Amino acid sequence: MTREYLRRLPRNWWVRKATYFSFMVRELTSLAVAAYATFLLVLVAKAARQDSFGRFFEALRSPASIVLHLVVLALVLYHTITWIALTPKILVVRRGDEQVSPRLIAASNYLAWAAISGVVAWLVLR
Amino acid sequence: MTGDRRASDPFFWLLFAAGGVVSAMLMPVMIVLTGVAIPVGWLSEAGLLGAIRHPLSRLVLFVVVSLSLFHWAHRFRYALVDLGLGAVGRRAGLFYGLAGVGTVVAGWLFVRL
């Protein structure tokens, strides 16, 4: 009787190649997404109490807050860029034998991202 | 993971996908607003409060928070399996439950505002 040979995957499989490592970083950006979502919850909780919001607002102007935000921003940007880069794989528009250029699909999504960001910034900052 | 497929998997995958889109599109600008615009002085305390309190923002923030948490739950769960921590990652209830709790808290907070 023969059995299938199952090779055990080494635990450090993802550090061995740059592409594997990038993949793992990409997946772990979900932690940054969750972290900022939690921050948003705290922000709204603080906004409900008029008296103490001033202190929270001041804390947002501290160097520690800026540094933390920038770290989270870098990770979330990596999430955004890799996510939109995958859109051509999901949105396959065929015309007969031909396909709409994947670059066009990705570019349209990046443009949509820029437009949405611009609208949100304008709405909040005006 | 092939042994433990459930009927609920597509549902949580859908939440992961929606959360991925929403966080990809909206989070970067929000981070710049709370992390840079405030210290630099482009956004005042009154401006920030006004922006949060608007009914449309409350809805958008709720959607962003809830879907982002479900995005994390699904993605991080499978990442743990890939990292060799499948014993933790396979406990679906732990992750989706946490996201669910966050969603309920968000709902309560946003209604109370």
Q: Answer whether A69 sits within 8 Å of B52, measured CB to CB.
A: no
How far lies B90's CA from each of B11, B79, B100, in Å?
Answer: 16, 11, 17
Q: Which residue of A has its CA nearest to B23?
A: A33
pLDDT at B94: 95
Mean pLDDT of A83-95: 91
* B2 pLDDT tier (thresholds 50, 70, 90): low
Both structure tokens of A95:
């015309």
Query: In A, which residues are within 8 Å of B53 by CB distance?
Result: 47
Q: What is the DSSP letter of A98?
A: E
For this complex, say whether ipTM is above 0.95. Answer: no
Instruction: Return the percentage of chain A with pLDDT > 90, whole number.
Output: 77
- Judge whether residue A51 has pLDDT over 80: yes
On the question of pLDDT at A3 being above 90, the answer is no
Burial of A116 (0-12, 13-18, 19+ CB in 10 A): middle
Residues 6+ apart with CB under 8 A from A103: A88
pLDDT > 90 fraction of chain B, expressed in percent and rounded: 86
- In the stretch 31-70 of chain A, residues with CB closer than 8 A to chain B read 31, 33-34, 36-41, 43-45, 47-48, 53-54, 57, 60-61, 65-66, 68-70
Q: Please give the Cα distance from A18 to B17 (Å, whole number).
A: 25
What is the 3-state composition of chain A as percent helix, strand, coil, each rounded to the nearest 5? 75, 5, 20
The answer to whether the pTM exceeds 0.90 is: yes
For residue B40 the two structure tokens come to 């630099």
Confidence band for B3, pLDDT divided at 50, 70 and 90: low
Q: What pLDDT score does A91 carry?
A: 87
| DSSP codes, B7-60 | TTHHHHHHHHHHHHHHHHHHHHHHHHIIIIIHHHTSS-HHHHHHHHHSHHHHHH
A55 to chain B: nearest residue by CA?
A: B45
> Helices B92-112 and B55-82: crossing angle, nearest 10°?
170
Query: What whole-number distance in Å separates Cα of residue A122 and Cα of residue B50?
Result: 14
- What pLDDT, on a 0 to 100 scale, did the predictor assign at position A5? 87
Distance from C-alpha of A46 to C-alpha of B91, rounded to nearest angstrom: 32
What is the pLDDT averaged over residues B92-97?
Answer: 95
pLDDT at A126 over 90: no
pLDDT digits (tens, 9 = 90+) for A76-85: 999 999 999 9
pLDDT of residue B46: 93
What is the structure's pLDDT at B71? 98
The span from the CA of B88 to the CA of B80, in Å, is 7
